Structure 1
Amino acid sequence: MPRFLAVYTMKSEDFDRFRALPKAEQEAVDAVGLREWAAWEERNAASILDRGGMVGKTTRITRDGVTDAANPFCGYLVIEAENAHAAALLFRDHPHITVFPGDGVDIMPFLT
């Protein structure tokens, strides 16, 4: 079955707005979101090959050297599905976009 990289994205301004909320509000969102995230993973366990994880700030290396960089990536996982559309449908109710201030989930096939 085809494998896909699912990358969680978040706009920096949405993250900043979330972190500007009072601590109690952030914790309330986290409590609901983490519970729903675990339930989502349980429902989709058969499709998840690598649970991946969340990622932090970006360091980029180019021909010109090493520098700090910015991108919308905040996490990833590896899944399998019949096709990209089926893979995308797994995420339609994901808490990254329904509870947390996530922007979206990008689905990319692994090429053979």
Structure 2
Amino acid sequence: MEVTPMPRFLAVYTMKPEDLASFRNMPKAEQDAIDAVGVAQWKAWEERNAALILDRGGMVGKTTRVTKDGVAAAQNPLCGYLVVEAETAEAAAQLFRDHPHLTVFPGDGVDIMPFVT
């Protein structure tokens, strides 16, 4: 009997550019303290959910946008991504309720989108 794989979801971490700027303007010691707590919690979150993480993705830097008019620097709230599998979008979203991106770092959201192809 063939096992049907669970649906896959792209989880995109978002952070308002002004919130990132505020974080980067904090004294280095404060940033380091937040990073120490947040990175440890992030690793623990990934360990708890390892069976559902298909691609650990990563954090991303500055945006370069390509349009029909050319190539230029751009700004958006995207700061990283991850691919998970779950029964439903709601189940995938529930994985991120206690994620340190939201509870420790100045992230403002995690957008969950199903892969449709």
Structure-to-structure mapping, 1:25-64, within 5 angstroms: 25-64=30-69
Matched to 1:89, the amino acid is Q
Residue 5 of structure 1, CA deviation: 0.2
- The count of aligned residue pairs is 112
TM-score (norm 2): 0.95
Partner of residue 89 from structure 1, selected from 86, 94, 107:
94
Gaps of 5+ in 1: none
- The two structures, once aligned, show a CA RMSD in angstroms of 0.5
Give the structure with higher Rg (CA).
2
**C-alpha distance in 1 between matches for 2:14 and 2:86:** 20
Where in structure 1 do 4 or more consecutive aligned residues deviate above 4 Å?
A: none
TM-score where L is the length of structure 1: 0.99
Q: Does residue 1:65 correspond to 2:70, yes or no?
A: yes
Structure 2 unaligned blocks of 5 or more: 1-5
- State how far apart, in whole Å, the 1-side matches of 2:76 and 2:17 are: 9
Query: Does 2:52 align with 1:12?
Result: no
How far residue 6 of structure 1 moved from its aligned partner, in angstroms, is 0.2
Identify the residue that residue 106 of structure 1 maps to in structure 2.
111
Shift of the alpha carbon at 1:2? 0.2
Per-residue CA deviation, residues 12-58 of structure 1 (Å, 9 max, x unaligned), is 11101111111100000000000000000000001100000000011
